[in-house]
Amino acid sequence: GEDVEQSLFLSVREGDSSVINCTYTDSSSTYLYWYKQEPGAGLQLLTYIFSNMDMKQDQRLTVLLNKKDKHLSLRIADTQTGDSAIYFCAARDTGKLIFGQGTTLQVKP
């Protein structure tokens, strides 16, 4: 089955760009997702990318997909303190979603 891996922690300064990386194993995954979890809350979908795309931009968010290397990244431009959260990468595996370990983003003022 699908396996999704992320680094656990990233610290940036306010105003810098953040890049969160993710690798997955199943090249047949049709959709790849980024979810955000704020303290004490459930996860909410930030953005997603279809497997036939290389890049998707949505305001401050840029998703890059390298299918050859099975690598997904999320770039947050002009990172704000309100972006501090846990970010989860997820891949679709025959209808169900498999999540990575989550990357805690710490934004320092």
Looking only at residues 77 through 96 of this chain, which bind another protein when binding is defined by CB under 8 A? 88, 90, 92, 95-96
Which one of residues 27, 39, 42, 82 is an interface residue with another protein (CB under 8 A)? Answer: 42
Residue in 90, 108, 1 with CA at minimum distance from that of residue 37? 90
Q: Letter for the amino acid at 75?
A: R
Under the binding rule (CB under 8 A), the answer on residue 8 touching another protein is: yes
Q: Letter for the amino acid at 88?
A: F
Under the binding rule (CB under 8 A), the answer on residue 100 touching another protein is: yes
**Residue 40 in tokens:** 């004490």
> Minimum distance between the CB of residue 44 and another protein, rounded to whole angstroms?
7
Under the binding rule (CB under 8 A), the answer on residue 68 touching another protein is: no
> Minimum distance between the CB of residue 60 and another protein, rounded to whole angstroms?
20
Under the binding rule (CB under 8 A), the answer on residue 10 touching another protein is: no
The residues that touch another protein, with contacts defined as CB under 8 A, are 1, 4, 6, 8, 31, 33, 35, 40-45, 48, 88, 90, 92, 95-102
